[in-house]
Copies of this chain bind each other. A is one copy, B any other.
Amino acid sequence: MKIGELASATATKVETVRYYEKIGLLPPPARTSANYRAYGNDHLARLSFIRRARDLGFTLEAVRELLTLSDDKAQSCDAVDGIARIHLTEIDRKVADLTALRGELDRIIGSCRHGTVADCKIIETLAPRERDKA
């Protein structure tokens, strides 16, 4: 399989495949006489794994750990579970942060009276009051 075929089979860009190789996530494949990368099914499986984990929002470092763990079939699954749970906690934190932000922003937008900038409640909320500076 050439890099373009592997890339389209996994909905990945060619540059991204080379990038994964460069950072050691994907092992360097054999080369053809023309120095083209020649991939096998093991590469396809590994790249699919990476893509799915990335789609679930795992960082590349977490993906690297998951790949290492998945290679040791006899090991306990708890380490895998732990990584996933940490990621879940992180997502919960982000959702909470964004939701709070959304509320704040919504409140500010709701205060807009569509006048001029001089009376703009949105700008006023962002700028410190003149009286506080005096």
Contacts and interface: CB of A to CB of B under 8 A. Distances in A.
A75 B116 contact: yes
A84 to B, nearest CB: 5
Contacts of A44: 128, 133
Interface string A111-134: 011111111101101111000010
Describe A's contact surface by its main secondary structure: helix
A98 interface: yes
B117 A80 contact: yes
Interface string A86-101: 0110011011001101
Nearest to A130: B45
Given A88-B109, A112-B81, A116-B75, A69 B102 contact: no
The 10 closest A-B pairs by CB, nearest first: A73-B118, A77-B120, A70-B123, A52-B126, A81-B112, A75-B117, A91-B102, A48-B128, A84-B109, A80-B122
